[in-house]
Amino acid sequence: MANNERDLFSAEIVNRGIEPSGPNAGSLTFSVRVRRRLPDFLQSVNLKYVKLGYHYLINHGIYLFTIPVLLVVFSAEVGSLSKEDLWKKLWEDARYDLATVLASFGVFVFTLSVYFMSRPRPIYLIDFACYKPDDELKVSREQLMEVARKSGKFDEASLEFQKRMLMSSGIGDETYIPKAVIASTENTATMKEGRAEASMVMFGALDELFEKTRVRPKDVGVLVVNCSIFNPTPSLSAMIINHYKMRGNILSYNLGGMGCSAGIIGVDLAKDILQANPNNYAVVVSTEMVGYNWYQGKDRSMLIPNSFFRMGCSAVLLSNRRRDYSRAKYRLEHIVRTHKGADDRSFRCVYQEEDEQKLKGLKISKDLIEIGGDALKTNITTLGPLVLPFSEQLLFFSTLVWRHLFGSKNDGNSPSMKKPYIPDYKLAFEHFCVHAASKTILDELQRNLELSDKNIEASRMTLHRFGNTSSSSIWYELAYMEAKESVRRGDRVWQLAFGSGFKCNSVVWRAMRRVTKPSRNPWLDCINRYPAPLNN
């Protein structure tokens, strides 16, 4: 096997316990597990995505280049005149050429108006809320396996597979699953149970959001809801409008089937709508219905979601009102979205379908790590020019261009020719909210991005305490940081999520003020126990 292929795999020794029978009965047995690693995507950067990032930067920063030039020219012109000459030019010339003065003033006013009308309105994040289920829905890993065993839906091989996945998942013993999964031995994938779970998590998060922000539901002009699996009629957004009796001209949108990165897509959609509708509030609700997609068959690729996904929901209040500047927590800086759906393997990487017994579930491809790495590489390469300090961009871009121009002529003996300079993203961000998908994904992301344990702490602790809550997980991670009171004024927060499609999305926030410990937060009752030691 070639070295570059070997680098895509990792090996680990797995303790399989005491052998129950056979010649080795009573002794410990071990096996070696070989699996794909996340590609070292920072070592194989595509130049076109770097160019795309610079294209975004230039489009949004044109005024930063033109205004200083105009000021320099104007200053040079004025600086060459004495006070007497300047007064003569302003007064005597204007007295004899009033039409020119008025025309110049009109052009100035028109240019200034166009600038302020065309520039994007700032989008503020007023506050957000994450739903914390009741303790009666809390289950340990052992309890979850007992529920699966009692259901009678799984054979021993499927139960053993789910147990191995659970024990190596990075998930702790205090996550939440719906009551239907806990209590029922029947098929729980019903519309009634789905609506009950949706009502519980969405209304719970929204009640907290409206209480914290003191914003009335009728004041909200834009509503965006995203949930991949459960999409009833009327929609989830209609359920919210009906429950809170929102106004009749509200702009509502319901995003379905867009995976774990849909929370950022919802923010992007709300941002675009707010740009076209001044003086407005937008609420983005991100959730997933766990019970509705609880798989009860034997296909191992479809059993994986049972081990990772848990209940959760987030609700975010955005505003484009300038008077909300003083009370906002964060300001939206950048959103970069990457979609690999044109590739067939990427498209079918996470795929909802029925198994041979006609039981529906979410099928996870064995190529998930490889495909996810490619999407991540594209996304962060595009984001880099927008956020990295100039010194990092210069080193990164120069080595990248050198590699593309002269790399083919090199014999490969020089290490500096083999790979570009790896930018230090820790210089661009103070806080990282990486989608808490699984322990393996977080391990590989930490290695590739060269993040410290502190950088990835919020993601690991969210996975341990709440499990994979799909599109809302990045908000539980930000809630963890706020509970730790680690967010200071001016800090930059990077939220990174990926999901079916295959998609990878990034959003960057800047803290408007020091964020103190909130009065309501899903971590408040346990934050003193975190960071917790992880033994799996």
Closest by Cα among 309, 291, 310, 283 to 225 = 283
Of 118-122, 211-215, 243-247, 365-369, which gets the smallest average pLDDT?
A: 118-122
Convert the pLDDT of each residue in 172-223 to its tens digit.
999 999 877 766 555 556 788 889 999 999 999 999 999 999 999 999 999 9
Convert the pLDDT of each residue in 443-486 to its tens digit.
988 888 889 999 999 999 999 999 999 999 999 999 999 999 99
Residue 380 DSSP one-character state: H
Three-state SS at 369? helix
Convert the pLDDT of each residue in 210-231 to its tens digit.
999 999 999 999 999 999 999 9
Give me the chain's average pLDDT, please: 81
The amino acid present at 467, given as its one-letter code, is: G
The catalytically annotated residue of 130, 227, 254, 260 is 260
339 catalytic per annotation:
yes
Beta bridge partners of 35: 10
Give me the pLDDT at residue 79, please: 60
468 catalytic per annotation:
yes
334 catalytic per annotation:
no
Convert the pLDDT of each residue in 333-343 to its tens digit.
999 999 999 99
Give me the pLDDT at residue 50, please: 52
Three-state SS at 129? strand
Which is more confidently placed, 514 or 389? 514
404 catalytic per annotation:
no
The catalytically annotated residue of 130, 254, 435, 448 is 435
| Residue-wise burial string across 500-526, b where 16 or more C-beta atoms lie within 10 A, e elsewhere | bbbbbbbbbbbbbeebeebeebbbeee
Give me the pLDDT at residue 382, please: 84
349 catalytic per annotation:
no
The catalytically annotated residue of 468, 504, 505, 521 is 468
Which H or E run contains 509? strand 503-511
Give me the pLDDT at residue 449, please: 85
Three-state SS at 174? coil
pTM here is 0.80
CA dihedral 38, 44, 50, 52 (to 10 degrees): -70
Query: Are 38 and 444 spatial neighbours (Cβ–Cβ below 8 Å)?
Result: yes
Does the bond joining 41 to the residue before it have cis omega, within 30 degrees of 0? Answer: no
The catalytically annotated residue of 464, 504, 505, 521 is 464
Per-residue pLDDT band for 417 (boundaries 50, 70, 90) equals very low
121-386+420-512 has CATH 3.40.50.300 classification: no
Average pLDDT over residues 414-427: 60
Taking CA atoms, 322 is separated from 40, 209, 230, 315, in Å, by 43, 20, 36, 21
Per-residue pLDDT band for 414 (boundaries 50, 70, 90) equals very low
